[in-house]
Amino acid sequence: MGELVTQPYNPAEGTEYADYLEHITREADRLRREGRLPDNETVLSFFDDVGLVIRKVREDASRAAARGDAEVVTRIEMTSADYRRLMSMNESMRTLLEILEMRAAVDMKRTDGTTRVATAVREGTFSE
């Protein structure tokens, strides 16, 4: 088992990011039901990975906010295969959702804060 360690991020933005990912997950579920998003094992596994990120970021951001910390770092245990899938699918899924957003099929509700935390996760380090 390995570990993804994020870059530091603001706890309030971490909570906002977890909310954002939950929104995206609900939208992806709807798009899969409508046939606009692939419904295969890779996509489903990717959203399982996203669920893990949501839980860990939300937990860590909440604890950091309660302590009054200005920054938080999240550590997420995952296999190297899960990490590779999360990172490779992240870009593909983001591109697909942006296209669907341009077609008014989805509202991603992205903010500067969610973008900063997404970058902190994406630019984190993975080690086994």
Ranges under pLDDT 70 in the chain: none
Alpha-carbon distance values, 77 to 27, 60, 65, 71, 103 (Å): 26, 14, 22, 20, 36
Largest alpha-carbon pair distance within the chain? 44
Domain ranges of the chain: 2-127
pLDDT for 106:
86
- What pTM did the predictor assign? 0.91
pLDDT of residue 91: 84
Give every CB contact of residue 58 below 8 A, 6+ residues apart in sequence: 14, 15, 18
3-state secondary structure (DSSP) of residue 8: coil
Q: pLDDT for 89-124, tens place per residue?
A: 888 888 888 888 888 888 888 899 999 999 999 999
- Residue 125's contacts (CB-CB under 8 Å, 6 or more residues apart) are 4, 5
